[in-house]
Every structure is written in structure tokens, then in C-alpha cells.
A and B are shown apart, each in its own frame.
Chain A
Amino acid sequence: MELLMPFLVGTLFSVSLYFILHRHLFKLILGLILFGLATNLFLFVVGGITTGEVAIIPQEKETAEPPFPDPVPQALLLTAIVIGFGLQAYAIVLIRRVYQTLKSNNLDDLSKTDKT
């Protein structure tokens, strides 16, 4: 499982970057969502995977018994998921407005603000 995870993260990152660089607007949405997923999964894996244990201290004890998973990356992950959700929701609405206003789903048409 731990051997598989880095490859999964890498694949997610590369696929999302491919989608972000694609010129179709809908693929930009997919790319941004997948990129968020990739960073979240990376955060989860990099904190270390412990199977079958929880970071909860038993009632009769003072400290948790090792091996237990580090709760901090999980807390970070939870925050990051919420923030990522907000950003992605905003991005989807924005992309829809861009499509409605500019009447194009081709990112190559969106070069007017770059011109001198």
C-alpha cells in the first residue's frame, strides 16, 4: 500500500497538470479539482500511514500507546480539504461565468488582457 501511494500521488499530479494546461475550460475545472486532491493525498501520505490504529487515548491511560498515527497531518488535511472545497467552488462558478460572458470554451481565445 505504501509503495503504491507515491505513484498514485505522482499520477494525480501529472494528470491534473495536463488538464490545467489543456485549452478546454471544462478540463481546467477537472484539473484544479484533481490538483487539490493530489496535494491532499500527498499531505496524508507524507504524514506516515499507520494501519488499523487511531490516535485516541484510551480512557484509563495518560498517553496513547505507540504505534498510533500522527494526528497533526490529519488535522492539516481536514483544513486543507475545506479550503480547497471553497476555492474549487469559486473556480467552478467563475469558469461558468467566463463561459457565459465570453461565449467560448477555448482558453486560447482569452488573450485580450495580455495584449499591449
Chain B
Amino acid sequence: MNPSLLLTLPLLLPLYGAVLCLLFWQRNQAQAVIAATVQLGLSISAGLLLYEVSQTGILTTQIGKWPAPFGITLVSDLFSALILVSASIVGIAVFLFSLQGLDSKRKKYGYYPLLLFLQMGVSGVCLTGDIFNLYVWFEVLLICCFALLALGGTKAQLEGTLKYVTINIFASGILLTGVGVVYSLYGSLNIAELALIVRQPDHPNLQLLTLCSVFFLTGFGIKSAIFPLFFWLPASYHTPPIAISAFIAGLISKIGIYTLIRLFTLVFIPKANFMLPMLLLLSALTMVIGVIGAAAQKDFRKILSFHIISQIGYMLMGLAIYTPLALAGSIYFIIHNILVKTNLFLVSGVVAQQHHTFSLKKLGGIYLKQPFLALLFLLSALALAGIPPLSGFWGKFMLAMGGFKAGNYGIVATSLCVSLVTLFSMTKIWNEVFWKAKPLKVSKPSGAIPAKSRYPKFLYMPVIFLMVFILLISLYAQPFINLAQQAANQLLYTNSYIEAVLKR
């Protein structure tokens, strides 16, 4: 297929879908049909893109035929194609969940178009080859997140959204400042050309590269909840309904890490200064603080939210070790985490729909009533904790091996201990929600509980759907590990990216 079509379809499909949905304002069924078509098309086009990239190498296209450093470049290597594919899988699952798991009032006020615009933003961030465009796509993504988080307007949602909005506008400002500094120092915004410029040994502004990178580390650090910039995440991610929070929690903070890895391998070379030790320290602290925070929580979704932070630490760990093996571990871990984290959120949604609460104290006895749901949770939870042969194990194994080979024993020891505490948290949920007897006192339903539906069993569909993919990358891991290793090599040996974009 034509590469420019392949690269623009993940942007155009959600855009047209969202506009069509807006034309069918307040007509839920028509919107659902449009959204279903778009989700299907999006995942097919993302799959085709991944296939094409793995066969022929990095794909690029210049929008409007302006040559590379001047025009707008869309570029896809294996890393971005992999993220796009997992994002589209999660999109299908969340869409399926929303059919029965979201109240029709929220759907009436634009859930489907917002979700589609959000997916367009995600595709844009993954595909853009220009640092300012990256900022613009991030804003597209953020404004959709803002609207989705506040959709419905309950007290808790508004409160959570206010925190999310404030910190994210601040982070965007820092990013924009960083873009300005990069342009004034190096005179280009195209990522590939910047990569060329910063590799000239006699460039006069080379000493200031670390300064620029700090802007991006802070900005994307806030957006992906790295220690000590994570406090907004557990305050806002658990407030909206599951059909919203599963998508945002599963995907958006990983997109921040994606951009960090992209920029810190291509443009900001963290070798030979204090950046790598600092990234190591940050990743270790992110892991530890996140998992300790989770241990103190008593709400299903809040425990999962704190675990997002802890797992962001693992993704950062691969970047901080900075070897092909460790980066491959990071990439595999990101894909695994997008799928597993979304699945755990969806399971919490299924539980809450039937028992009207997320509180661990009030839940119980689900293993007796719904053993199949318990099994689905157990598999996802063990995958998150990294029990072999499930997917988390392979990611952590590659990260640990990369760490040992690079001689970073401290970070490996930290990551393994954190895995143990993750297992503790997951057993806590298992014991409280699934294993213990149901408490006698009947609780009354509160704010963000999914709506009652006529087909409660339908909610199992998205969970099973994601479970299939989790089991696929767990039990049939070798091809995916190979892909991750190829993607890591493309990231670290930047010549192929630069050549593909600038056609030199």
C-alpha cells in the first residue's frame, strides 16, 4: 500500500469519524455504529502499518510535498507502529465496554466524538516527525482528556479534572518554552534534522543541549507522572467512569513515556553527562514511591492508579540503562502495560457494575459468584506483577538482564523488590474483592459507578478480548520480543531514521 496513505489513515479515520459523530449529535446508536466502524478501520490500518514497517523499514511522508526539514513530516518506525497497534486494540476494548458500561447521558453529550478525537491525538503524537507538531498533537490529546474527565460533571470528577487541567496546562507551557529554546539554539524543529545537528561535534551550542532536555524531561515527566511530578495522577484518574478512565489510565501516561524515549534517543543524547544517572534515580524512585502509595490505598481504582506510577518507573528504567536490550525491554513493557492496565481497569468496572462500589471493604465473595471474572482478574494481576510465563515477566526479564549486563545492579535489585510489592498489592485486591466473604452491610451506589445494563454479561466481552492479546504476547512472546529488539535498534542507531526522513 501507498506509504502516505498508511501514515495518514490513523489520523484521518478518527477525525472523519468524530466529525460524523458530531453531525449525529445526541443520537447514540448512530454514533456507536460510526465509532465501531472507525475502531475497526483504525486497528486494521495500524496493523497494516506495523506489517509494512516491519517488512520495508521506516516509512515517511511529507504533507503537501514540502521537502523534509521545512514541511510537516509524518514518520513511523517500529516503535511508533507498535504503540499505535496496541492503542487501537485498547480503543476497541474500551469502545465495547462503553456500549453497556456507560450511561446514555454521558454518551449523549459527546463521549464517542471525544474518544475518537483523543485517538487522533494519540496517532498524531506517534506519527509526527516535528517537535512543534508533537506539542500541538499533545494539546489535541489533552483537551480531549480534559473534556472526557469532566464529562458528566459529578463533584469528584470536577475536582479531579481541575487538578489535571492545572498541572497539564503548566506542563504544556514548559514544553512550549522548551520548543522555543531548541529552535533558537539549533535553528530547526524537524526531529531528524535536529538529530543531525546535535551530532555535529563542533556546533557552538552543543553544551546547552542538556538545558533543552530538562524542559522536555519536566514537561513530559509531568504528563507521564514521573517522581516527583506524579501527584495529580492518583487525584484524578479514579474519578470518571471506567469507560473513560480505562482508556486514559491505560494509554495516555504511556504516550508521555513514548515521547520521552523518542526524544532522548534521537535528539537529546543523555550519554556523557549527568542525565543517565539522574534518569536511573528518577526511575527507581518512581517505582518505589508508586508501589508504596498503592499499598496504603483501599479503593480498587486507586490501587491501580498508583500502580500506573510504579510501572512508569520500569519504562523509564530501560531508557536510563540505555542499551538495546534494556530499551527493548521498555518497549515490550509499554505494550504489555497498555493492555494489562486497561484490562484491570475494565475488570474493576465489571465488578463495580454488579456490586455498586469500588471500595475493598465493601466488596467480597466474587470468587464464589463469578469464578470466571475472578480468573480473568487473576491472570491480568499476575501478568502485571510479572509471574512467568505471563507478559510482565518477559518485560521485566529483559529489563533486568539489560541492567545486569550494563552493571546497574542497584536498579535491578530495586525493580525486583518493587515487583514483589506489586504482587502484594494484587493479592490484597484478590483477597479483599474476590476471596473474602461478602460483608453483610449493603452499600448504596455512589457517583462514578457504571450504569446498570440489560446485558451485564456483555461487559465480559472487552475483558476477554484484551485477555486474548495479553495471552498472545505472553505465551507466544518470541516474535514480539524480536519486534521490540528491532524497534530498540532503530531507536539507538539513528542513521536509518535520519536517512528515511531527510532522504540522504
Which residue on B lies nearest to A114, using beta carbons?
B235
Contacts of A32 in B (CB 8 A): 166, 169
Using A73-B180, A76-B132, A98-B158 as known contacts, say yes or no to A116 and B165 having CB atoms under 8 A apart.
no
A110 and B162 contacting across the interface, CB-CB below 8 Å: yes
A38 and B169 contacting across the interface, CB-CB below 8 Å: no
Q: CB of B228 within 8 A of chain A?
A: no
B183 and A91 contacting across the interface, CB-CB below 8 Å: no
**Interface residue ranges of A57-107 to B (CB < 8 Å):** 72-73, 76, 79-80, 83, 86-88, 90-91, 94-95, 97-98, 101-102
Q: CB of A51 within 8 A of chain B?
A: no
Contacts of B161 in A (CB 8 A): 94
Minimum C-beta distance from A60 to chain B (A): 24
Using A87-B139, A90-B143, A101-B153 as known contacts, say yes or no to A47 and B183 having CB atoms under 8 A apart.
yes
B176 and A116 contacting across the interface, CB-CB below 8 Å: no
For B150-173 the 0/1 string (1 means CB < 8 A from A) is 100101101111110110011011
For B121-150 the 0/1 string (1 means CB < 8 A from A) is 000000000001000100100110011001
B176 and A80 contacting across the interface, CB-CB below 8 Å: yes
Contacts of A110 in B (CB 8 A): 159, 162-163
For B7-18 the 0/1 string (1 means CB < 8 A from A) is 000000000000
**Interface residue ranges of B178-200 to A (CB < 8 Å):** 179-181, 183-184, 189
B184 and A36 contacting across the interface, CB-CB below 8 Å: no
Which residue on A lies nearest to B172, using beta carbons?
A87
Stretch in B293-301, B385-393, B421-429 with 4+ CB within 8 Å of A: B293-301
Contact of A91 among B169, B239, B296 (CB under 8 A): B169
B165 and A91 contacting across the interface, CB-CB below 8 Å: yes
**Interface residue ranges of B224-247 to A (CB < 8 Å):** 234-236, 238-239
A47-B179 Cα distance, complex, nearest whole Å:
11
Q: CB of B336 within 8 A of chain A?
A: no
Q: CB of B254 within 8 A of chain A?
A: no
A107-B136 Cα distance, complex, nearest whole Å:
29
A114-B161 Cα distance, complex, nearest whole Å:
12
Of residues B136, B163, B165, which shows the largest number of chain A Cβ atoms within 10 Å of its Cβ? B165
For B280-319 the 0/1 string (1 means CB < 8 A from A) is 0000000000000000111100100000000000000000
Q: CB of A48 within 8 A of chain B?
A: yes
A42-B176 Cα distance, complex, nearest whole Å:
9
Which residue on B lies nearest to A90, using beta carbons?
B146
Q: CB of B177 within 8 A of chain A?
A: yes
A47-B153 Cα distance, complex, nearest whole Å:
41
Which residue on B lies nearest to A97, using beta carbons?
B158
A114-B143 Cα distance, complex, nearest whole Å:
23
Which bucket holds chain B's interface residue count? Answer: 35 or more
Contacts of B298 in A (CB 8 A): 116
A86-B296 Cα distance, complex, nearest whole Å:
38
A-B contact count (CB 8 A): 98
A46 and B155 contacting across the interface, CB-CB below 8 Å: no
A10-B334 Cα distance, complex, nearest whole Å:
38
B143 and A86 contacting across the interface, CB-CB below 8 Å: yes
Contacts of A43 in B (CB 8 A): 176-177, 179-180
A101 and B180 contacting across the interface, CB-CB below 8 Å: no
Contacts of A42 in B (CB 8 A): 177, 180
A113 and B181 contacting across the interface, CB-CB below 8 Å: no
Contacts of B166 in A (CB 8 A): 20, 28, 32, 91
Which residue on B lies nearest to A83, using beta carbons?
B139
Which residue on A lies nearest to B142, using beta carbons?
A87
A113-B302 Cα distance, complex, nearest whole Å:
10
A116 and B299 contacting across the interface, CB-CB below 8 Å: yes
Minimum C-beta distance from B230 to chain A (A): 12
A83 and B235 contacting across the interface, CB-CB below 8 Å: no
A113 and B143 contacting across the interface, CB-CB below 8 Å: no
Which residue on A lies nearest to B299, using beta carbons?
A116
Contact of B159 among A38, A48, A79, A112 (CB under 8 A): A112
Minimum C-beta distance from A27 to chain B (A): 12
B163 and A113 contacting across the interface, CB-CB below 8 Å: yes
Q: CB of A14 within 8 A of chain B?
A: no
Minimum C-beta distance from B128 to chain A (A): 14
A20 and B170 contacting across the interface, CB-CB below 8 Å: yes
Contacts of A83 in B (CB 8 A): 136, 139
A90-B146 Cα distance, complex, nearest whole Å:
9
Using A47-B180, A87-B172 as known contacts, say yes or no to A113 and B235 having CB atoms under 8 A apart.
yes
Which residue on A lies nearest to B175, using beta carbons?
A39
Of residues A35, A48, A113, which shows the largest number of chain B Cβ atoms within 10 Å of its Cβ? A113
Contacts of A114 in B (CB 8 A): 234-235
A79 and B136 contacting across the interface, CB-CB below 8 Å: yes
Using A32-B166, A35-B170 as known contacts, say yes or no to A112 and B156 having CB atoms under 8 A apart.
yes
Which residue on B lies nearest to A37, using beta carbons?
B173
Minimum C-beta distance from A67 to chain B (A): 16
Minimum C-beta distance from A16 to chain B (A): 9
Contacts of B156 in A (CB 8 A): 112-113
A112-B162 Cα distance, complex, nearest whole Å:
12
Contact of A113 among B176, B183, B238 (CB under 8 A): B238
Using A76-B132, A76-B183, A102-B159 as known contacts, say yes or no to A113 and B173 having CB atoms under 8 A apart.
no
Minimum C-beta distance from A62 to chain B (A): 17
Q: A86-B143, A87-B169 are in contact. List 6 more A-B contacts (CB 8 A).
A: A43-B179, A83-B136, A91-B165, A94-B161, A98-B162, A116-B302
Question: 9 A-B pairs, CB-CB below 8 angstroms?
Answer: A35-B173, A39-B180, A42-B180, A86-B143, A98-B158, A98-B159, A102-B159, A116-B297, A116-B298
Pairs A-B, 8 closest by C-beta atoms: A43-B180, A39-B173, A46-B184, A46-B180, A98-B158, A113-B235, A83-B139, A39-B176
